[in-house]
Amino acid sequence: MEVQAEGDSVFTQLLVEATQVVPPRFVMDQLVPKMQLLREVNHYTNLLVIAPYISSQAQELLRRNGIAYLDLTGNVDVRVPRPAIIIHTVGAQKAPRSTPRETSRTTLAGVKAGRLVRLLADVPPPHRATDLHRTSTLSLPYVSRLLDTLEDQLLIRRKGRIITDVDWAQLLRARARETSLLSHGAYRGFLASNGVPAVLQQIAQLPKAYDGGLAAIDGLSVTGSYAAQRFVQVAVGGQLMLYMASWLNVDDVADELRLLPVTEGADVLLLNEPDSFVRRRSEFVDGVQYVAPSQAALDCLAGPGRMPAEGEALLDFMEAHPEEWRASKKVIGTPPLEH
């Protein structure tokens, strides 16, 4: 493709790379070397990548390396110095369902992926797939497939079979893009008759043990805004979101906490716990259980309203204070919570 300004002898050429998928590793391993070669051969030629959809991470890498891109959802970035051309538009932030995916690639969606993401985020490398398999209780073939996907997305780096580096912040963002905290049927809304602070006090006063050995206080864990506000303060208040373990009955919990069911204007949400792993490395503060910072950040990023901004602020805190939340290597190999 050749572009020339009207009435001007200056022109530029766009070498089009049309592809179905643009994983970040493809950008770095194939497109960047091709662009470097083009610059050496002919500085009037620019590379333009066209695909059905290009992820935000891949877009950033393309821009950083001076590679133009266009996807069919409207994400476009074309910058040419001579003749002066700047085109930048923002399209879809998530891949449409009809977007082609790499064949046989395991994605970050689903409960199983959530387990592996939490392990990789919480525990510094090095890791082996076999250790992750034993700790998560996921099948080794599944773990291996997902690790291949994460490597293609440049979310992990490996040397041989050893994971040597994890971009945990981008990993949590990538996971959040594939899930929704408040998916249909995953929660019920309530009004705190005496206010949210009173609900937290009531949780702390729940019985510590039942005859069956399972206590309600162990099955309720704070996530979302109130969990993030332990570390960062973007805004005050918000909805109190509580994960509820599978052995608890939502109506019984609502009665214990004096919550009134509502269809609108809820200030307390009781969420069905998708997996016991969300309580992994949780912490009791003043008698109330809070999810680990990595889970709180993930849930905020996948939440509505101002919650993604709270998630980003929490990620900034986590990057500045890894000692406040990351575990030691010995945690790998510890079995998950099961009830």
Q: In whole angstroms, give the CA distance from residue 119 to residue 332.
A: 8
pLDDT of residue 339: 40
Domain 111-179: which CATH number of 1.10.10.10, 3.80.10.10, 3.55.30.10, 2.40.160.40: 1.10.10.10
Token digits of residue 178: 């594939």
Per-residue pLDDT tens digits for 175-195: 999 999 998 778 999 999 899
Cα distance between residue 117 and residue 115, in whole Å: 5
Task: Find out whether the peptide bond into 274 is cis, omega within 30 degrees of 0.
Answer: no
**CA–CA gap between residue 30 and residue 27 (Å, rounded):** 6
Mean pLDDT by 10 residues, the chain (339 residues): 54 87 91 88 86 92 94 93 86 77 72 96 95 95 95 93 95 94 88 94 81 69 96 88 93 93 95 94 94 97 95 97 84 48
- Asked whether the beta carbons of 116 and 146 are under 8 A apart, the reply is yes
Per the CB < 8 A criterion, the answer to whether 153 and 120 are in contact is no
The full set of domain ranges for the chain reads: 2-89, 111-179, 187-324
Helices (H), the chain: 24-26, 32-41, 56-64, 111-122, 129-136, 140-152, 168-177, 196-204, 216-219, 225-228, 250-256, 293-301, 307-320
- The DSSP bridge pattern shows strands 11-18 and 2-4 to be antiparallel
* Span 21-73, pLDDT tens digits: 999 989 998 999 999 888 888 777 889 999 999 988 899 999 999 999 999 99
State which fold the 2-89 domain adopts.
Answer: Trna Endonuclease; Chain: A, domain 1 (3.40.1350)
State the Cα–Cα distance between residues 9 and 82, nearest whole angstrom.
10
Structure tokens at 247: 């052995």
C-alpha span between 242 and 223 (Å, rounded): 6
Q: pTM, whole model, 2 decimals?
A: 0.78
Q: How far separated are the first and last CA of the chain, in Å rounded?
A: 61
Q: What is the DSSP letter of 237?
A: -
